[in-house]
Structure 1
Amino acid sequence: MDLELSSADRAFRDAVRAFLDAELTPELRQVGRRMTSVFCDKDHSLAWQRILHARGWAAPTWPVEYGGPGWTDIQRHVFFAECARVGAPHLAPMGLRMVAPAIMRFGTPEQKARYLPRILSGEDYWCQGYSEPGAGSDLAGLRMRAIPDGEDYVLDGSKIWTTHAHWATHMFCLVRTSTEGKPQAGITFLLIEMDRPGIRVDPIVTLAGEHEVNQVFFDAVRTPKADRLGEENQGWTVAKHLLEFERGGGYAAGLQAGLERLRSQAGDEAGDETGRLLDDPHHRRRLAEAEIAALAIDMTERRVLSALTGGGNPGPASSILKAQGSEALQRLDELAVDALATYAAPHQPQARLAGSNAPPVGPEHGLTIMARYLNNRAASIYGGSNEIQRDIIAKLVLGL
C-alpha cells in the first residue's frame, strides 16, 4: 500500500486548496467552526452547495453521467480531507449521499430525471423516514402503514428522530405494505413530498437545546404509487443499499483536525498546576491516546481506499470504522469539555449563530464544545448502533 500521493494527486490537492481559499467565505468558515453535529443549518449548507455545484464539485461520489466530477477514489479522499482541514461546513447528506445513490440504482428513468438534478442543485431538500416510536433501531419492526388505493398509497403512522424534517421538501420513507411472512418482506420504499395534506412535523429539542430532529405524523396522507422506489414489498433491499452510503465516509481527517484544535486550545488553557494545560502529563497522555486512535483509523481508511482502487470492497472494515470512528469522536469531545472546565457549562445558543454579536461566556472556541459533546453521544447509535457493528465484526472477521 503506497501512502504517498502521486504528482497528479498532489496537483489536485493544491487545486482543491486554492479553491477553498478563494471560495470559502468568512461567514461559511465561521459556520463550519460552530457546527455542533454532522448537520449544518439548511441556509448555509445550501449556500456552500451552490458554490460547489457551480464548480461541479457538489457530489464527489456521483458518476459523471449524473453530474459527478469523475474523480478517482484517492481524489475524493483528498477533497474530503482538505474540507475537514479548513473546517468547511458539511453538505446535507440525506439527498446527495443517501437517497441519490438509491435512486440511481433502483429508480425508473422518470424518477432519475425528476429527482437527481434537483438534489444536485439543492432545489429539493430531503429527510429520512426510518425510525419509529417503539421500534428503536429495529427497522424491521416498523408499523407505519401504506394501504393501496387506486393510483395512491394512503399513509398512517409516525416517524421519529427525523433530522431536518422541518426544512425538508421531501422524505424517503420505509412503510409497511404487508404483514405476511418475515417482517422485512412487507416493507416498501417511498419518496414523499412533505407538503402533502395530513403531514404534521413536531419539533424535538435535544439536550444541547437545539431543534435538529422531529417527530413526523401521517394522517391519511395520499402519495402516488409512481413515487415508490423499487417494487412493492422490496423496500428492505433498497434500504440496505442506502445504508451502505449512510455508514460510509471517513473519520480520520475530521479527527486529526479536531486534535489540532485541542492541542492549540490546551496551549492557551491553564492546567491544574502552574503552567499550561498542554504541560499537564495526564492531559498530554490523553491527547497521545486520541492521536494513536486517529492514526489507526487513518490507516484502516487507507487500506479500504487501497482495496477500492484495486476493484475490491470495504467489507467488514466499514463496521470497524463506524464503531472506532464514532467512539474516537466522542473521546475528543470529552477531552474538549475537560479542557474548558467550568466554561463548558453556559448555554449560549444565540452566541453560536453565524454573524451573532452576542459576547461569549469564556473563550470563543468554547461556544460549541458542550453542544457538540451532547449531540455526538448519538454518533454511536445512528447509522447502525455500535453494538450491531460489533456483531458484524464478530461474525465476519472473528468467525464467531
Structure 2
Amino acid sequence: MDLTYTPEEEEFRVRLRGWLARVLPALPPRPDPRDWPGRRAYDTGWQRMLYDAGYADLQHEATPTQHLIFLEETERAGAPYVGANFVGLLHAGPTIAAEGTAEQRERWLPPILRGDEVWCQGFSEPDAGSDLAALRTRAVRDGDSYVVTGSKIWTSHAEVADWCELLVRTTPVTPQTPKHKGISWLAMPMDAPGVTVRPLRTLAGSTEFAEVFLDEVRVPVGNRIGAENDGWRVTMVTLSFERGTAFVGEVVACRRTLGLLAREAVANGSWDDPAIRRRLGRLNAEFGVLWRLTQRNVSEAGAHGVPGVGGSVFKLRYSHARQQLYDTAADVLGPAAALDLDDPHGWNLDRLSSLSYTIAAGTSQIQQNIVAERILGLPKGR
C-alpha cells in the first residue's frame, strides 16, 4: 500500500482527533472487565456513538488508510475498543458483508454497526480439538428450518450475545464425502428454544467463554450464509478476517503498551540492564514489522473483499510477540506485577490472557501448516 497520506486523509485524521477530544471526557467510567453485562452496555454504547458520528463502518466505507488512521487515533486517545461485540464487528459482520445476500446484509449489518445486537462464535467443539472440520453438531432440514443438535465450547461472549455464527454438519461424513464438504454456516438466535449457555471460568477468573448446548434448536433456512454444504469455504472467509484484520487494534495497543513499559524501565532502573534493553528493542522492531504486515492485510481486504493467507503469518508472529511483551513486562516490573491478580486492570491479568493467543483463532501449529502449505507450497503432512 502507499504509506504516504493524502491531504484528504490528513483532514480525516484532524477531524477524528477533534471528535475524540470532545466525546471521550464525557464517557462514563469503564466497568470491571469481568462484568460482561456491564461491558456489553458500555461497549455497545460506544459503538452507537461511533455510528451516530459516521465512524462505525470504516472497514467497508472508507479507504484502507482511513481505517488504519481511525485505529491509530482511537488507540492513541485511549478510546474503547470493540469489546464484547468483537465477533459481530470483526468476524460475523465482515463475513455477512462478503458472502450474504442483500436481504441478509440489510437484516444483520445495521444492528451490528449500531451496537443493537451482539454476536458470539460457535465454531469449536469439545471432541474436535484443532480439527475444526471434525465438528459433529448436526443440522437436519425440516421444511424451512434446520433442527440443530450438538454442543460448542469456547464460545466467546455467549452469555451476552443475541446471535451466534454457528457451524453445523448438514451432510454426514462418509468415505465418499470428505468432512470439509458437509458443513454449513448459520446465524442462530441465542434466545431460541433449546439453547443452553454454561459460562466457563478462565485462569484469570473471567467468564468470556462458555459451553453452548443445542437441543433440537430450530434455525430458519434463510439464516444460512452461503449455500448448503459450502460452509467450509465461508468459514475460511470468517477465519481470514479473524486472523488477518481482527487483531489490528491490538497491535496498536501493544505498541502503546511497549512505550509505557520502556518508560517504566527507565523510571525504575531496569533500563540499565543490557538484556532488558535488547528485549525491548527487539519487541519494538517486531511490532513495527507487524504493523506493516497489518497495513498489507488491511489493504488486501480493501482491494479484494477479504484478507489473504498473509493473515496466518501475522497471527503466528503476533501471538508469540504478545507473550514475549508480557514476559518482558514481568521482568521490568518485578514482584509487584505478580501481586495484582485482584486488579482487573493489572499487568498480570494481561500476561495470563496473552497465553491464550497461541491457541485462539487457530493454534500456532495450525498457522504453521497453513503457511507451509498455502504460501511455501510444501506438501501436506501425513
Aligned to 1:182: 178
Q: CA deviation at 1:339?
A: 2.3
Q: Structure 1 residues 41 and 321 mapped into 2: Cα distance closer, same or farther (>3 Å)?
A: same
Q: CA deviation at 1:112?
A: 2.4
Q: CA deviation at 1:257?
A: 0.8
The structure 1 residue matched to 2:234, chosen from 225, 238, 242, is 238
Aligned to 2:259: 260
Provide structure 1 residue ranges, at least 5 long, that are not aligned to the other structure.
Answer: 63-69, 270-275, 353-366
Tell me, in whole angstroms, the C-alpha distance in 2 between the residues paired with 1:14 and 1:51.
Answer: 18
Tell me, in whole angstroms, the C-alpha distance in 1 between the residues paired with 2:165 and 2:312.
Answer: 24
Q: Please state if 1:221 is matched with 2:217.
A: yes
Aligned to 2:54: 56
Aligned to 1:356: none
* 1:247 and 1:318 in contact (8 A); partners too: yes
The structure 2 residue matched to 1:295, chosen from 255, 267, 288, is 288
Give secondary structure in 1 for the equivalent of 2:186.
Answer: strand
Tell me, in whole angstroms, the C-alpha distance in 2 between the residues paired with 1:96 and 1:305.
Answer: 15
Tell me, in whole angstroms, the C-alpha distance in 1 between the residues paired with 2:288 and 2:257.
Answer: 13
Q: Structure 1 residues 311 and 245 mapped into 2: Cα distance closer, same or farther (>3 Å)?
A: closer
Tell me, in whole angstroms, the C-alpha distance in 2 between the residues paired with 1:259 and 1:159.
Answer: 36
The structure 2 residue matched to 1:149, chosen from 135, 142, 153, is 142
Aligned to 1:392: 370
Q: Please state if 1:109 is matched with 2:107.
A: no
RMSD: 2.5
Tell me, in whole angstroms, the C-alpha distance in 2 between the residues paired with 1:394 and 1:4.
Answer: 33
Tell me, in whole angstroms, the C-alpha distance in 2 between the residues paired with 1:182 and 1:310.
Answer: 32
Tell me, in whole angstroms, the C-alpha distance in 2 between the residues paired with 1:154 and 1:265.
Answer: 56
Tell me, in whole angstroms, the C-alpha distance in 2 between the residues paired with 1:90 and 1:256.
Answer: 15
Give secondary structure in 1 for the equivalent of 2:20.
Answer: helix
* 2:240 and 2:309 in contact (8 A); partners too: no
Q: Please state if 1:140 is matched with 2:118.
A: no
Q: Structure 1 residues 141 and 396 mapped into 2: Cα distance closer, same or farther (>3 Å)?
A: closer
Tell me, in whole angstroms, the C-alpha distance in 1 between the residues paired with 2:216 and 2:242.
Answer: 30
* 2:244 and 2:297 in contact (8 A); partners too: no
Aligned to 1:83: 74
* 1:35 and 1:89 in contact (8 A); partners too: no
Q: Structure 1 residues 98 and 314 mapped into 2: Cα distance closer, same or farther (>3 Å)?
A: closer
Q: Please state if 1:208 is matched with 2:204.
A: yes
Give secondary structure in 2 for the equivalent of 1:133.
Answer: coil
Q: Structure 1 residues 146 and 306 mapped into 2: Cα distance closer, same or farther (>3 Å)?
A: closer
* 2:270 and 2:276 in contact (8 A); partners too: yes
Listed one character per residue, the Cα deviations across residues 189-211 of structure 1 (whole Å, up to 9, x for unaligned) are 11111111111110101000111
* 1:252 and 1:295 in contact (8 A); partners too: no
Give secondary structure in 1 for the equivalent of 2:208.
Answer: strand
Listed one character per residue, the Cα deviations across residues 40-93 of structure 1 (whole Å, up to 9, x for unaligned) are 93122112101101111112112xxxxxxx311111111111122233221122
State the TM-score, normalized to the length of structure 1: 0.84
Give secondary structure in 2 for the equivalent of 1:119.
Answer: helix
Aligned to 2:86: 93
Provide structure 2 residue ranges, at least 5 long, that are not aligned to the other structure.
Answer: none
For 1:298, the aligned partner's letter is: W
- Which has more helix, going by share of residues? 2
Q: Structure 1 residues 2 and 147 mapped into 2: Cα distance closer, same or farther (>3 Å)?
A: closer
Aligned to 1:371: 349
For 1:20, the aligned partner's letter is: L
Q: How many residue pairs end up in the alignment?
A: 367
Q: CA deviation at 1:31?
A: 3.9
The structure 2 residue matched to 1:346, chosen from 335, 339, 342, is 339
Q: Please state if 1:380 is matched with 2:358.
A: yes
Q: Structure 1 residues 11 and 261 mapped into 2: Cα distance closer, same or farther (>3 Å)?
A: same
For 2:145, the aligned partner's letter is: D
Q: Please state if 1:15 is matched with 2:15.
A: yes
Tell me, in whole angstroms, the C-alpha distance in 2 between the residues paired with 1:198 and 1:306.
Answer: 42
Give secondary structure in 1 for the equivalent of 2:141.
Answer: strand
The structure 2 residue matched to 1:196, chosen from 192, 195, 198, is 192
State the TM-score, normalized to the length of structure 2: 0.88
Q: CA deviation at 1:118?
A: 1.3
Listed one character per residue, the Cα deviations across residues 131-183 of structure 1 (whole Å, up to 9, x for unaligned) are 00011121100001112223222221110000100000111100111114011
